[in-house]
Chain A
């Protein structure tokens, strides 16, 4: 079993409609809070909870709304596109026209997804001056991880760069594929030949279309049909205008020219569109007899068939390994994130690919206190599991990143939700955490009033955890410049499913099944409420000519949210 690392997950208020956040701290409805907890305690085991809990690093903070934003309630906007392999930036116009894959030389091995490298088929030159000899000959793509080579599918390249373009022209087996221009020519030639009546329906040559030709034939066929069927004159539009079906076009026009007789006529004139008849027009019939495939299967065996994950990467869904082609790398994006409600940008990376720093980065880590959990004494059981029905104490450390001190109220239901409710007691539900001032600020005595009263000599954590000092209700455990630790006592529930009826909780009676996965993890939902006063500079600066400082208003701010503390696993008894 992997070691259990205690975690804290925060719930973004966007998903929870019941808990509202009050902006300005007016009359403090403490009573109302109690009912909030009782009625709507957060259940970390609810199926929806999984999607709304995030570790603090994943959360952003909107300064305008003064709210936490999770990845679900931000809008992503793409700053730039780049290839993750060659780190070459691709302009978004290219992405629209050529697709979202790298069009240079970045390919993945179709067998194992490792990167492919280009190498020459000629043996390396020997003797003196070897490094100056130009390498000639053909090139192949090979994978250094599974040793696949494009020779195995019969593809050899002429030059070592612009592999994408070269690959587009070669099929597996070395025969040339057709470019769109050539395809058009070939299509027209075929059509002329076909109109002579000499084409044989069902001939093998025509029926087998690769994906590109198939798409191209179908597209030109439907374009023709549209232009034939939708009347150009009545609507004033040719059939090539957009891809709206003739029915829709005439209906919309009819709305504007309603009542006229000409309207009915235009509807009738739209006519019927037919479907493709043969391969020339894009019809591809699935071969009903699979004898070809079966014959191939018999020769190549199981190793010759492509696995599901290999097939999924290929555009043409091949069955056999010899039909696999190198996969071009998907492009990756750099995205900036915006708050959904106020459209404020929360995170904006540099648009250059090589630069890794952010222009704007409003992360929740810099605004709300981080919570760290640690067992107060080392767990008695060697496996690190919590012993059931034995009171264990945990230390919660709140570290405040703000430049103002914060008053924290924490609350938790008496029993953790779920089938096995463990008893939880917070020994100090209300405390104040100091501001994150620099050491120099303190020393120079600047605005030392806030921090002064709470300044205590900082004991090392090692001393404190040595069992000195009993955890007392109402008192914090330890305090530092900008952090405070408090003790939480937990009595883990027993995981026994048998036992007398009256000892079982209601849920247990309802649901008497065996222990499910992760049901033995002790998770404590905690409701955290922060209050602090922030400096808000006056907005109007026009009138005041003198004075650097505008009127500073201390605004009371509040923030409340649920978090889940994953504390440990309960041992089975």
Chain B
């Protein structure tokens, strides 16, 4: 490490996000972080893969186009990647925004190209989520799963395998376990 350890591994923003200095975030202006989110080292977030509007309608809401929108208390472990999915639609290829809700945990080494991830989702390590997958709330994806493209995972499911299949249901008592506030507090600059 060439930097002095006193500076700490994480940069903390005013909204409480803890971003590692060794993360590789591209296109930061197009990424929205909800607050109290942890981004560990070597995480890649592709904020540069924006939606390319078809040439018509430049008058419509431009503003800052959002590539990746992340909710509160999310946790992105080491080495994972968030990438907006893209597809050929009516003749032109375009990327679509990736929206992630609150309390989402992404395990190390996972690659997420989903379109929408609901709240309280626990994604294991080395998981591949295919393009335009939709993951609803309270889902647990076990390690090493490959979620095929366009798959919809309903709420309260436990999903595993390649291609991913629903292998179980989340019990009523487990929904407190998805809360990531403790994990957020545990991340420190020590």
Contact = CB atoms under 8 A, between A and B. Distances in A.
Direct A–B contact in complex, judged by CB atoms less than 8 Å apart: yes
Main SS at interface, chain B:
loop
Interface stretch (B14-22, B151-159, B179-187): B151-159
A145 B148 contact: yes
Contacts of B152: 84-87, 115
B172 A60 contact: yes
A58 to B, nearest CB: 4
Nearest to A131: B90
Interface string A69-88: 00100000000001011110
A58 B136 CA distance: 21
Interface stretch (B5-13, B43-51, B73-81, B163-171): B163-171
B88 interface: yes
A57 B150 contact: no
B149 A144 contact: yes
A57 B91 contact: no
Contacts of A87: 136, 152, 154
Contact of A56 (B92, B166, B173): B173
A347 B174 CA distance: 13
Contacts of B176: 365
B144 interface: no
B54 interface: yes
A145 B138 contact: no
A426 to B, nearest CB: 26
A356 B163 contact: no
A117 B172 contact: no
A131 B92 CA distance: 8
A60 B163 contact: no
A361 B154 CA distance: 20
A356 B137 CA distance: 7
A87 B163 CA distance: 20
Nearest to B89: A131
A130 B92 contact: yes
B188 interface: no
Contact of A113 (B131, B154, B165): B165
B177 interface: yes
B90 A125 contact: yes
B171 A144 contact: no
A57 B178 CA distance: 12
B2 to A, nearest CB: 30
Interface in B85-134: 88-92, 130-131
A365 B155 CA distance: 21
A550 to B, nearest CB: 31
Interface in A6-63: 56-60
A145 B163 contact: yes
Contacts of A361: 172
A302 interface: no
B156 A131 contact: no
Interface in A308-361: 332, 337, 347, 353, 356, 358, 361
B98 to A, nearest CB: 18
A86 B136 CA distance: 12
A501 to B, nearest CB: 46
Contact of B151 (A56, A115, A337, A353): A115
A242 B18 CA distance: 69
B92 A144 contact: no
A544 interface: no
Name the interface size band of chain B: 20 to 34
Nearest to B90: A131
B141 to A, nearest CB: 15
Interface size class of A (residues with CB under 8 A): 35 or more
Central interface residue in A60, A126, A131, A337, by most chain B CB within 10 Å: A131
B171 A114 contact: no
A133 interface: yes
A463 to B, nearest CB: 15
Nearest to B171: A58
A236 interface: no
A145 B150 CA distance: 10
Interface string A103-114: 000000000111
B138 A133 contact: no
Contacts of B172: 60, 337, 347, 358, 361, 363
Contacts of B88: 124
Contacts of A408: none
B155 A112 contact: no
A115 B173 CA distance: 30
A484 interface: no
A125 B91 contact: yes
Contact of A57 (B56, B90, B154, B177): B177
Nearest to A365: B173
Contacts of A135: 90
A364 interface: yes
Contacts of A332: 154
Contact of B90 (A56, A85, A117, A124): A124
A363 B175 CA distance: 10
B140 to A, nearest CB: 12
A361 B156 CA distance: 15
Contacts of B151: 114-115
A356 B173 contact: no
A60 B176 CA distance: 14
A87 to B, nearest CB: 6
Given A84-B152, A126-B91, A363 B163 contact: no
A133 B137 contact: no
Contacts of A56: 173
Contacts of A124: 88, 90-91
Contacts of A82: 154
Given A144-B148, A347-B172, A356-B156, A133 B165 contact: no
A145 B149 contact: yes
Contacts of A59: 173
B156 A114 contact: no
Interface of B: 54, 56, 88-92, 130-131, 136-138, 148-157, 163, 165-166, 171-174, 176-177
Given A57-B171, A57-B177, A130-B90, 13 more contacts: A57-B173, A58-B174, A84-B166, A86-B152, A87-B152, A112-B163, A126-B91, A131-B92, A133-B90, A135-B90, A145-B130, A145-B163, A353-B154
Interface of A: 56-60, 71, 82, 84-87, 112-115, 117, 124-126, 130-131, 133, 135, 143-145, 332, 337, 347, 353, 356, 358, 361, 363-365
19 contacts: A57-B174, A57-B177, A60-B173, A71-B171, A82-B154, A84-B152, A84-B166, A114-B148, A114-B151, A114-B163, A115-B148, A124-B91, A126-B91, A131-B90, A133-B91, A145-B163, A356-B136, A356-B155, A363-B173
Nearest 6 CB-CB pairings of A with B: A130-B91, A57-B173, A114-B148, A145-B148, A363-B173, A131-B90
